[in-house]
């Protein structure tokens, strides 16, 4: 394929998706990467160094990633033109090459471009945002027993208020919609109808079920003990409440779940292990308390887009912060791995921040590709570097007797602990 600015490495090959959605991974797969805005320049090179070292060590040079830079965000405006934030060929490459990884991208608050991160997820229909949250021994934490925090968030990634269906206060569009709601839908509960911004929250059965199905299947495949549907259905009955109902429905119809003690909780036996998997639900605000007070009771979480965004940062804080929390955006075929944190502009270019989040996102990527041995080496390297108290500023400021490392030095420390 001919690209305008993307240079396809001559040595690598494409990963292929088979009919059953399993991957055919060549020994030299081409992996597109977006460096990212802000601290993207600080975290992406250590991530690549760590991945290259892990792959080289695990497969004695038989396998190697051929990195292919693709552009989005501020860098795209420099490489293409000042108005091109998300080039079409970036989307094409991410789709065609199947597995990719990205650094954070800036989203201005209020006016200007809508989130490029959200746009990437929507354009490629990456409907699952999977964010595992676990504690590494020695990581500073504000909770008493951070080892109890071991959850995997499945955040719906394509619907909810992230769909971006909203209009600014005072525009003819907002006024028109408010007039329609009042005059044709009998809505009399909009408190101030003038100068009122308005947004729409779409939540569908199809969108909910495909997400919850993935969460339930993950629990089965990984021998997890429960799946919790997190929602605010007491207030938003036909969106968040429906999410809960459709979630239980998938559990019953597709996984054979039955009511537990008369319901609404359900359970079913894991067909692989025979162990019972509980399917339960918790209201979102109560969940933010539960994860602090009783984290051991939660395992896999399935939730809507905005709840998932809040929950992932809150949970990350319990195990060392967003500097170490990884993530993946998945469709049935395409996978784009990305850090949970943003561009942290005040630290940009200082070689200071924690590259752990992107490194662990790459670890998820290698596992997804079936390169488990390399993924295991990365975990070993992270555990070793943290146990040796050789860490970046975010951990160092909270750890007794730690040695302060830069982003790139931390990457090197992870590599040094892969043995």
Ligand X SMILES: NC(=O)C1=CN([C@@H]2O[C@H](COP(=O)(O)OP(=O)(O)OC[C@H]3O[C@@H](n4cnc5c(N)ncnc54)[C@H](OP(=O)(O)O)[C@@H]3O)[C@@H](O)[C@H]2O)C=CC1
Say which entry of ligand X, ligand AKG, Mg ion, none residue 341 contacts (CB below 5 to 8 A, set by partner kind). Answer: ligand X
**Is 97 annotated as catalytic?**
no
Of residues 39 and 304, the one with the C-beta less far from ligand X: 39
Where do runs of H (alpha helix) occur along 168-266?
A: 172-184, 205-221, 242-255
CB of 400 to ligand X, least distance (A): 19
Measured CA to CA in angstroms, residue 359 lies from 58, 327, 355, 405 at distances of 16, 10, 6, 16
**Is 275 annotated as catalytic?**
no
* Closest C-alpha among 141, 57, 135, 44 to residue 383: 135
Of residues 115 and 204, the one with the C-beta less far from ligand AKG: 115
- Annotated ligand binding at 27? The verdict is no
Considering only 28, 69, 92, 107, the residue that binds ligand AKG (CB under 6 A) is 107
Q: 182-204 b/e with 16+ CB inside 10 Å = b?
A: eeeeeeeeeeeeeebebeebebe
* Closest C-alpha among 23, 36, 47, 21 to residue 326: 47
Measured CA to CA in angstroms, residue 174 lies from 152, 195, 324 at distances of 38, 9, 40
Say which entry of ligand X, ligand AKG, Mg ion, none residue 322 contacts (CB below 5 to 8 A, set by partner kind). Answer: ligand X
Of residues 117 and 122, the one with the C-beta less far from ligand AKG: 117
User: How many Cβ atoms are within 10 Å of 69's Cβ, its own excluded?
Assistant: 16
CB of 368 to ligand X, least distance (A): 18
Tokens of residue 216, six digits: 């339930």
Residue 404 interacting with ligand AKG (CB under 6 A): no
- Residues 318-357, interacting with ligand AKG (CB under 6 A): 340
DSSP state of 295: G
Q: 140-177 b/e with 16+ CB inside 10 Å = b?
A: bbebeebebbbbbbbbbbbbbbbbeeebeeeeeebbeb
**Is 245 annotated as catalytic?**
no
Whether the Cβ atoms of residue 327 and residue 338 lie closer than 8 Å to each other:
yes
- Annotated ligand binding at 160? The verdict is no
User: How many Cβ atoms are within 10 Å of 270's Cβ, its own excluded?
Assistant: 17
- Positions touching ligand X (CB under 6 A) are 39, 43, 104-107, 117, 321-323, 338, 341-344, 353-354, 357, 394
Size of the site for ligand AKG (CB under 6 A): 6
Give me the residue label for tokens 């991208």. Answer: 105
- Annotated ligand binding at 182? The verdict is no
- Residues 278-317, interacting with Mg ion (CB under 5 A): 309
How many residues does this entry show for the chain? Answer: 419
CB of 361 to ligand AKG, least distance (A): 12
Say which entry of Mg ion, ligand AKG, ligand X, none residue 210 contacts (CB below 5 to 8 A, set by partner kind). Answer: none
Considering only 69, 77, 115, 193, the residue that binds ligand AKG (CB under 6 A) is 115
Task: Find the catalytic residue in 232, 248, 281, 351.
Answer: 232
Q: Looking at 274-360, which runs of residues are DSSP E strands?
A: 276-283, 300-303, 328-330, 335-338
CB of 326 to ligand X, least distance (A): 11
Say which entry of ligand AKG, Mg ion, ligand X, none residue 323 contacts (CB below 5 to 8 A, set by partner kind). Answer: ligand X
Of residues 153 and 300, the one with the C-beta less far from Mg ion: 153
Whether the Cβ atoms of residue 124 and residue 57 lie closer than 8 Å to each other:
no
Say which entry of Mg ion, ligand AKG, ligand X, none residue 156 contacts (CB below 5 to 8 A, set by partner kind). Answer: none
**Is 285 annotated as catalytic?**
yes
Residue 117 interacting with ligand AKG (CB under 6 A): yes
Q: Binding site membership for Mg(2+): which residues?
A: 309
Residues forming the site for ligand AKG (CB under 6 A): 107, 115, 117-118, 309, 340
Catalytic residues: 162, 232, 285, 309
């Amino acid at each position: 394929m001919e690209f305008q600015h993307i240079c396809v490495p001559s040595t690598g090959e494409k990963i292929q998706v088979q009919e059953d959605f399993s991957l055919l991974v060549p020994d030299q797969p081409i992996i597109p990467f977006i460096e990212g805005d802000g601290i993207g320049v600080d975290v992406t090179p250590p991530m690549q160094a760590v991945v290259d070292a892990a792959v080289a060590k695990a497969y004695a040079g038989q396998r190697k990633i051929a990195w292919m830079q693709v552009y989005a965000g501020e860098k795209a405006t420099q490489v293409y033109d000042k108005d091109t934030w998300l080039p079409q060929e970036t989307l094409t490459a991410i789709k065609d090459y199947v597995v990719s990884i990205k650094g954070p991208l800036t989203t201005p608050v209020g006016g200007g471009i809508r989130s490029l991160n959200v746009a990437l997820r929507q354009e490629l229909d990456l409907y699952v945002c999977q964010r595992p949250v676990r504690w590494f021994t020695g990581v500073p934490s504000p909770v008493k027993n951070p080892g109890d925090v071991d959850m995997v968030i499945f955040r719906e990634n394509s619907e909810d208020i992230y769909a971006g269906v909203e209009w600014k206060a005072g525009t003819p569009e907002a006024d028109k919609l408010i007039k329609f709601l009042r005059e044709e839908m009998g809505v009399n509960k909009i408190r101030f109808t003038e100068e009122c911004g308005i947004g729409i929250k779409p939540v569908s059965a199809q969108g909910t079920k495909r997400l919850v199905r993935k969460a339930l299947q993950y629990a089965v495949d990984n021998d997890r003990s429960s799946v919790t549907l997190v929602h605010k259905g007491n207030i938003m009955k036909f969106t968040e409440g429906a999410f809960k109902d459709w979630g239980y429905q998938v559990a019953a119809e597709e996984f054979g779940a039955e009511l537990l003690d008369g319901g609404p909780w359900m359970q079913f036996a894991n067909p692989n292990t025979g162990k019972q998997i509980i399917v339960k639900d918790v209201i979102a605000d109560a969940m933010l308390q539960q994860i602090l007070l009783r984290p051991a009771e939660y395992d896999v979480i399935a939730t809507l887009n905005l709840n998932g965004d809040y929950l992932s940062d809150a949970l990350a804080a319990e195990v060392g912060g967003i500097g170490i929390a990884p993530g993946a955006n998945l469709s049935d075929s395409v996978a784009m791995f990305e850090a949970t944190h943003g561009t942290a502009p005040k630290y940009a270019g200082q070689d200071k921040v924690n590259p752990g989040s992107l490194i662990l996102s790459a670890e998820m990527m290698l596992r997804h590709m079936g390169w488990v041995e390399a993924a295991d080496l990365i975990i070993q390297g992270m555990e070793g570097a943290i146990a040796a108290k050789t860490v970046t500023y975010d951990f160092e400021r909270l750890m007794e007797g730690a040695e302060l490392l830069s982003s790139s030095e931390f990457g090197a420390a992870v590599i040094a602990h892969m043995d």
